Amino acid sequence: MMSQTLVSQAVLPARSSAVFGTPVKAAAPLRTQGRKSVTVNAAERQLWYPGGEAPKHLDNTLPGDYGFDPLSLASEKAAMTWFQQAELVHCRTAMAAVAGIIIPGLLTKIGVLPPLPIWVDAGKVWIESHPSFPLGSLLFTQLLFTGWVEGKRWADLKNPGSQGDGSFLGITSGFKPMSNGYPGGPFFDPLGFSRGDDETLHEYKVKEVKNGRLAMLAFLGFFAQYAATGKGPIDNLFDHIASPGQVNFATNGISLPFIRR
């Protein structure tokens, strides 16, 4: 129904022109600035709940939109923008965190790196082994720089493109984002992935959101694993591979407390 409505709105003006004798041009595809066209029939659209119906405010224009908003939290445009930007930040943070847990753990396990502390203790071990960098100083520096960056991001959210005014080291075009949450430019997209066609760029955005959501779930799983076994994900994986029948979620004594080994 959505697809039919959009198509009819695009084609009707062309038909009227034909009636009055003016040349008929092919209707241009409807596009939203920085977003992919909505041309998917409602019956063909992928939803989080197969056979369900997406809320009206989720029209499949945002990357990774599968119609999930059972509480209608994003029914207002301002709220939707805020939630989208919050999800992007959490997705990117989670992907960096998961990579920082898995890669060192795997390289340590196979002997490429010397023994490293488990991810839960890594920060504590580093601070204790570097007394010249007290925790208070590290926290203050982190809060200072993170607050500055987040302030710039918030200002750009409120006034898109405002951070490319040259106020920071005279940089202008390098800080002008493509859109909120997607800075692009030579500093944030040195390989030029964002300079392709709109369809490819939208595909990249969808993949980013999908991988980010998976990373958030993965990090939650890492935390639950440590609470249950006291080990990191790589150690848990190798233990399970060595003895899948004896080492799994049903035998750790925590995940299923009513099952005791």
pLDDT in tens, 200-223: 888 999 999 999 999 999 999 999
Q: What is the DSSP letter of 7?
A: H
Q: Tokens 């990373």 label which residue?
A: 215
Of the candidates 230, 232, 228, the one whose C-alpha atom is nearest the C-alpha of residue 116 is 232
Least confident residue range of 31-45, 67-81, 97-111: 31-45
What is the pLDDT, as a whole number, of residue 108? 93
Measuring CA to CA, how many Å separate 59 from each of 27, 49, 102, 191, 211? 21, 15, 36, 31, 21
DSSP alpha helix (H) spans, 25-178: 77-109, 119-129, 135-158
Task: State how far the Cα of 69 lies from the Cα of 202, in Å rounded to an integer.
Answer: 21
Tokens (6 digits) for 201: 């760029």
Tell whether the model's pLDDT for residue 47 goes beyond 50: yes
Q: pTM of the predicted model, to two decimals?
A: 0.72
In this prediction, residue 145 carries a pLDDT of 92
The region of weakest confidence among 55-69, 92-106, 162-176, 242-256 is 162-176
CA dist., res. 71 & res. 158, Å (int): 25
Q: Contact, 24 vs 12, CB < 8 A? A: no
Alpha carbon distances (Å) from 126 to 40, 146, 172, 185, 232: 51, 20, 38, 34, 18
Q: Is the pLDDT of residue 22 over 60?
A: no
Rounded to 10°, the helix 119-129/77-109 angle is: 80
